[in-house]
């Protein structure tokens, strides 16, 4: 995933107008663009919460089977 961030600044006269513009912007994105944004947010969240890069977690559990 490439990290190309663009910053667009807009000024709105009301909160409702800003909300409408946000909805229109996200509705105009392709599914891939939305997915890329999701991955970026997820990566940043993991770095903040756990202090590491996201990776695969492997959990191995062993259960002892009961014999009848």
Q: How confident is residue 46, by pLDDT bands cut at 50, 70 and 90?
A: confident
Within a domain: 68:
no
Contact 12, 18 (CB under 8 A): yes
Within a domain: 8:
no
Within a domain: 29:
yes
Range(s) of the domain holding residue 33: 15-50
Q: Is the pLDDT of residue 61 over 60?
A: no
Within a domain: 67:
no
Q: Is the pLDDT of residue 1 over 60?
A: no
The tally of domains found in the chain comes to 1
- The whole-number average pLDDT for the span 18-45 is 93
Q: Determine the Cα–Cα distance for residues 31 and 8; give it in Å rounded to an integer.
A: 20
Give the Cβ contact number of residue 43 at 10 Å.
Answer: 14
Within a domain: 35:
yes
Within a domain: 4:
no
Within a domain: 42:
yes
> How does DSSP assign 6-60, residue by residue?
-------SSHHHHHHHHHHHHHHS-HHHHHHHHHHHHHHHHHHHHSS--------
Mean pLDDT of the chain: 82
Q: Is the pLDDT of residue 25 over 60?
A: yes
């Amino acid at each position: 995933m490439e990290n190309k961030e663009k910053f667009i600044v807009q000024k709105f006269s009301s909160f409702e107008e800003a909300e409408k513009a946000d909805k229109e912007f996200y509705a105009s994105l392709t599914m891939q663009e939305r997915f890329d944004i999701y991955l970026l947010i997820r990566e940043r969240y993991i770095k903040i919460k756990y202090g590491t890069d996201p990776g695969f977690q492997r959990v191995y559990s062993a259960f002892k089977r009961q014999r009848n």
